[in-house]
A and B are shown apart, each in its own frame.
Chain A
Amino acid sequence: QSVLTQPPSASGTPGQRVTISCSGSSFNIGSNPVNWYQQLPVTAPKLLIYSNNQRPSGVPDRFSGSKSGTSASLAISGLQSEDEGDYYCAAWDDSLNAVVFGGGTKLTVL
Chain B
Amino acid sequence: QVQLVQSGAEVKKPGASVKVSCKASGYTFSSYAMHWVRQAPGQGLEWIGWINAGNGNSKSSQKFQGRVIITRDTSASTVYMELSSLRSEDTAVYYCAREGHGDWAKFDYWGQGTLVSVSS
Q: Does A47 contact B (CB under 8 A)?
A: yes
Chain B residue nearest to A104 (CB atoms) is B44
A47 touches B46 (CB 8 A): no
Contact A88 B62 (CB under 8 A): no
Is there a chain B Cβ closer than 8 Å to A37's Cβ? yes
Number of inter-chain CB pairs below 8 Å: 69
- Does A92 count as interface, using CB distance less than 8 angstroms? yes
Against B, the Cβ 8 Å flags (1 = close, 0 = not) of A6-33 are 0000000000000000000000000011
* Interface size in chain A (residues, C-beta < 8 A): 26
Say whether B107 faces chain A, with CB atoms less than 8 Å apart: yes
- The size class of the interface chain B forms with chain A is 20 to 34
Q: Are B35 and A99 in contact (CB under 8 A)?
A: yes
A74 to B36, CA, bound (A): 24
Is the CB–CB distance between A92 and B45 below 8 Å? no
Say whether B106 faces chain A, with CB atoms less than 8 Å apart: yes
Question: With contacts A51-B106, A90-B105 known, is A2 near B44, CB below 8 A?
Answer: yes
Interface of A is mostly: strand
Assess whether A92 is in contact with B103, with CB atoms less than 8 Å apart. yes
Q: Give which listed residue, A33, A44, A47, A102, contacts B112 with CB less than 8 A.
A: A44
Q: Which of B45, B100, B102, B110 has the most CB of A within 10 A?
A: B45
Choose one: B62, B100, B107, B113; the contact of A98 (CB below 8 Å).
Answer: B62
Chain B 10-39, CB-CB to A under 8 Å as 1, else 0, gives: 000000000000000000000000010100
- A102 near B110 (CB under 8 angstroms)? no
Contact string, B32-71, partner A, CB cutoff 8 A, digits 1/0?
0001010000001111001000000001011000000000
Shortest beta-carbon contacts, A-B, top 8: A99-B47, A44-B110, A104-B44, A92-B104, A101-B45, A90-B105, A99-B105, A50-B106
Known: A44-B111, A46-B110, A98-B62. 16 other contacts (CB 8 A): A2-B44, A32-B104, A37-B45, A44-B95, A44-B112, A44-B113, A45-B95, A50-B103, A51-B102, A92-B103, A92-B105, A96-B61, A99-B35, A99-B105, A100-B105, A101-B47
